[in-house]
Amino acid sequence: MGSLHDIRRDYAGDPLPGDPMAIDPWRFFAAWVSQAVQAGEPEATAMTLATIGGDLRPSSRIVLLKEYSPRGLVFFSDYDSHKGRDLTANPVAAASFWWPGTMRQVRAVGPVSRLPRPESEAYFAKRPRASQLEAWASRQSEPLRRRADLRDAVGAAQERFKGAQVPCRPSWGGYVIDVDTFEFWQGLPGRLHDRIVCRLTEHGWRNERLQP
């Protein structure tokens, strides 16, 4: 097998604020997302979502962040998918963002709940029709014997909703991560990276700098 020992990159970012308590986590997160988008980061809103199943085995996958506010981080999925089953068993998740262009990483952790149904339906109505049909055709995370079977299911959905709006499938909707922990990481030269963790307490956010 090949060795990856010699693959490395030095970082050259700007340090985080000197006083950790000067950070408002949600405003800071919003600024970093905006800067990642402006910097042309590919898939700047993509995040690695980590969950834990009922068997206590972890899983992770890339999903797209669709909304953020002090309420939490919002993403959408099929409730019957692998991640959906994990979140039913253990309604907590960790989301990680990595932006190589700006040499930044964010980690967000917290309990997860389903988005109110009217909000899921409103978002679904804005999706491209092809995506709406796919949501009806696919039984996400279930075995697929042939690709042709999926195409047939899409065709059946097209026929079913021909000439009509595609409603939001009952098993499809949004989730919101109610973030109680943020960690902001900035790559710096010599591996002297800068890290600030923000934890939500009953008295508000408490922030501290961590060693690299």
Q: How far apart are CA 111 and CA 6, in angstroms?
A: 39
Task: Map tokens 């953020």 to a residue.
Answer: 68
Q: 38: closest CA among 133, 84, 102, 109? A: 102
Q: How far apart are CA 95 and CA 152, in angstroms?
A: 34
Asked about 169 being catalytic, the answer comes back as: no
Provide the 3-class DSSP secondary structure of residue 115: coil
C-alpha dihedral, 110 to 114 to 116 to 122, nearest 10°: 110
Q: How far apart are CA 14 and CA 30, in angstroms?
A: 17
Q: 174: closest CA among 58, 49, 60, 55? A: 49
CB 204: neighbour CB atoms within 10 A? 7
Q: How far apart are CA 71 and CA 19, in angstroms?
A: 25
The partner residues of 154 in beta bridges, in order of sequence, read none
Choice among 27, 71, 160, 191 that is catalytic: 191
Binding positions for FMN are: 61-66, 83, 105, 140-141, 185, 195
Binding positions for substrate are: 8-11, 66, 123, 127, 131, 191-193
Active site residues: 191
